[in-house]
């Protein structure tokens, strides 16, 4: 009886392990396409204009710095601040994108934090020790 139970458990384990691996098996092109889509979403989140400073690392180990001057369906353009040279890059050629931009929510949170700190300092100074 114990052998049958162990055999059934081993068969279930083998089926589970092979089934999971089959579900996650995908081609290299599919992985690259999915990654390129993530890069595209990230670039579109950053937006365009001189305030969108980025550092881009390409698959061929090249590095670009500047701002995103244009973004399209298949490519985006990085313009170097110092030289003014614009480089068009395909999303599929990108290894990583790092933006130095803060979202609107982050800017609001920083502003609220600074205002709260100022109010706290004023209240502490006016009602704290030595204000008598």
pLDDT in tens, the chain (132 residues): 777 766 766 677 677 666 655 555 568 888 888 888 888 888 888 888 887 788 999 989 889 999 988 888 888 999 998 888 998 999 888 998 888 766 677 788 999 999 999 999 998 888 866 655
Asked if the structure places residue 18 within a domain, the reply is no
CATH number, domain of 96, equals 2.30.30.100
Same domain, 77 and 116: no
Give the pLDDT confidence score for residue 20 in this predicted structure.
56
Q: Per residue in 78-107, is it b (16+ CB within 10 Å) or e — as a string?
A: bbeeeeeeeeebebbebeebebebeeeeee
Same domain, 77 and 33: yes
- Cα–Cα distance between 94 and 38 in angstroms, integer? 11
Residue 13 CA from chain centroid, whole number: 36
Give the pLDDT confidence score for residue 14 in this predicted structure.
73
Give the pLDDT confidence score for residue 126 in this predicted structure.
87
The dihedral through the CA atoms of 83, 88, 91, 93 has a sign that is negative
- Cα–Cα distance between 53 and 80 in angstroms, integer? 10
């Amino acid at each position: 009886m114990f052998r049958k139970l162990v055999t059934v458990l081993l068969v279930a384990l083998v089926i589970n392990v092979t089934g999971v691996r089959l579900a996650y098996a995908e081609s290299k092109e599919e992985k690259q396409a999915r990654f390129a889509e993530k890069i595209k979403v990230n670039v579109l989140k950053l937006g365009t204009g001189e305030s969108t400073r980025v550092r881009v690392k390409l698959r061929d180990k090249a590095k670009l710095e500047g701002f995103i001057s244009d973004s399209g369906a298949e490519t985006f353009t990085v313009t170097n601040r110092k030289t003014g040279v614009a480089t068009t890059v395909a999303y599929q050629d990108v290894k990583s994108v790092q933006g130095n931009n803060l979202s609107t929510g982050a800017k609001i949170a920083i502003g609220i934090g600074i205002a709260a700190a100022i109010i706290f300092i004023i209240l502490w100074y006016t009602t704290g020790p030595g204000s008598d």
